[in-house]
A and B are shown apart, each in its own frame.
Chain A
């Protein structure tokens, strides 16, 4: 059974703090690892699609790393702002069929 785990489940930080979340996924049959930012009642906002082992991607204050051999990815937010408050979801895409298998997400709340 393919499973994607994310930790922590929720996180409360102060404005200006830097933070990171973990996504673990199956290390076999890897095709891609997706990170999404999801606010209630909106469609998921794609942050990163990562395909190569050792890949590091950056988008403003948010960055992500990927280790496909051990099956984990980290998402980092530098200098958190209240507008970063959202649920951050990772999803594993296997090579077989391109469907996404999702983690439960990390809910981030940034206090001003």
Chain B
């Protein structure tokens, strides 16, 4: 069964550093997403991406965040200058129709 893969599974970074979270969506899916879950809180929508551009972004997705699909297969989330409150599980997903497929997540710890 096709999978969404995310790397790394766990990243520890110092406050103020840049991080790039990587995702390989399912190849024939057209919609791509990033979500995050801060421990103990609801899963939050960050951004959706369709047709090589951002289709919607949340208030969380400020100028510190960016997404790219650099080579037609990878889908990356970059945080330019990490803050302590960025510590969370970050999930990538892709979809076709009403169904979603999620990756296994990257646990980002900002220290």
A binding-site residues for B, Cβ under 8 Å? 31-32, 34, 41-44, 46, 49, 51, 89, 91, 93, 97-104
Contacts and interface: CB of A to CB of B under 8 A. Distances in A.
Contacts of B100: 34, 46, 49, 100
Interface of B: 4, 31, 33, 35, 41-45, 48, 55-56, 91, 95, 98-105, 107
A43 B35 CA distance: 12
B42 A93 contact: no
Contacts, number: 48
Interface SS of B by simple majority:
strand
Nearest to B95: A98
A44 B98 contact: no
B4 to A, nearest CB: 8
A51 B55 CA distance: 22
Given A41-B105, A104-B42, 19 more contacts: A31-B98, A32-B98, A34-B100, A41-B107, A43-B102, A43-B105, A89-B43, A91-B43, A97-B48, A98-B31, A98-B48, A98-B95, A98-B98, A99-B45, A99-B48, A100-B43, A100-B45, A102-B42, A102-B44
Nearest to A6: B42
A46 B99 contact: yes
A42 B33 CA distance: 17
A43 B45 contact: no
B43 A43 contact: no
A100 B75 CA distance: 19
Contact of A49 (B33, B43, B99): B99
Given A98-B48, A100-B35, A100-B45, A93 B98 contact: yes
